[in-house]
Amino acid sequence: MQYTPAVEDFVTCLKRSGLIAESEADSIIDGLAQAGVDVTEPKKIAAALVRNETLTKWQAENLLRGKRRGFMLGKYRLLGLLGRGANSSVYIAEHSMMRRRCAIKVLPVKSRSSSGLPRFQQEARAVALLDHTNIVRAYDLGQEKDGKAVIHYFVMELVEGESFEERLVREGPLPAVEAANLIRQAADGLAHAHAVGIIHRDVKPANLLIDRLGVVKILDLGLAKISDILATDESPVLGTADFMAPEQALDAKTADARSDVYSLGCTFYFLLCGQVPFAGGTLSERLVRHLFETPVALARKRSDLPEDLTSIVQRMLIKNPAERIQTTAEVSNLLRNWLLRHADRNWLRANPALLNSGRAGETQESTASAGDAVPGRAASAGSAVPIEGSGDAFQLVPVMDPPGSAAGFLDSHEFDIPISPVTRSLMKNREHSTWRTWLARASKRFRRE
């Protein structure tokens, strides 16, 4: 069959793509012609191949652009692009033999820096260590030559659903029971990761998915800390500013399970009121506020929230990690017991796992409030200090005084970073050089994102 030059180019791309057997291309085009398709135009051929499911729309569009490679990774056929970030791209794919669909994360060539590839491989290893309902499962890790380049990728469970962030955008702040159940599931998954020595370090609404059955799936362990093994060139500032624990903002190497508790608390706050704890201002300023300021109380944003639920969020957001809820397992248990007390019977019947778990520890935990003493918690001079004229709902909490702090007042112009006057006033006893270094580093890091 004679092709026009444009169709010839398209058919050549199709043959070399690996999406069909090269020997079958001409017969496929003949079949389209016999079915009445105008095979003198590449776009009409591509549209027909999408309709009969020979190609996906993404594949057809790239073939029309003249792309011949990049549709196959080993035994996996790429079907479409799910998302692209600064350090990787994620595709929906299908195993060529088993026909099982999956998600494949691919490391771009430009991201293979001294830390990029090791971190990518570390994420794959971290996911592979975990086997839990609430964590996206890993299937495979591999590399494939594409011309002179080597493509690194790993294969994960495909979750069809939406992220916490997408649900909130679609529905607005969530009902208390729904939000508590989502956070409970995320806490269960994180507890499993912590039990095998993995700290997530980037817990946020965009990294928590809800599948079509309402099951939460934790993904993106690209910043995970595996036990105490860290790259020597790892940046001291890792994570997402709006959800980052104070101690992690100072040095990511010090992050532990309690840092994930704080980030999950920020996510909980976001689900309940539709705002991050510290909205507005520059990224660097928001980081500083995580260190010093307490967010506006949830009760002021939503009067319908039960006090025993908002107290759990407050305890997750305590600045000092020693005074915070210590484990995500404890968060899960608190929320499970809260749901047993507050959810209606129909909801509980639809979630029998909660009923089967019983009310273990409820007597002891349900009597505790945000202001109650926690075993092992010592009173300190760094307790909450109300802002004059602000009421009880907004407080500043000085934390983590560095040893040998020198008196000195830090003005924002010294760093070229906007800092609120209230926050700046609490910084006056901080060591000058320490804050200069940290703020400059944090500002540089987050302006790149």
Supply the residues annotated as catalytic. Answer: 202
Distance CA 268, CA 169 (A): 15
For 304-340, b/e burial (b = at least 16 CB within 10 A) is ebeebbbbbbbbbbbbbbebbbbbbbbbbbbbbbbbb
Residue with tokens 């979750």: 159
Separation of alpha carbons 105 and 90, rounded Å: 4
DSSP reduced 3-state for 90: strand
Q: Nearest 5°: CA angle at 61, between 57 and 63?
A: 115
CA torsion sign for 16, 22, 24, 29 is positive
Q: How far are the Cα atoms of 78, 87, 117, 142, 153 from residue 150, in angstroms, in the given order?
A: 17, 16, 12, 10, 10
Distance CA 386, CA 396 (A): 6
**CA separation for the pair 187, 333 (Å, rounded):** 9
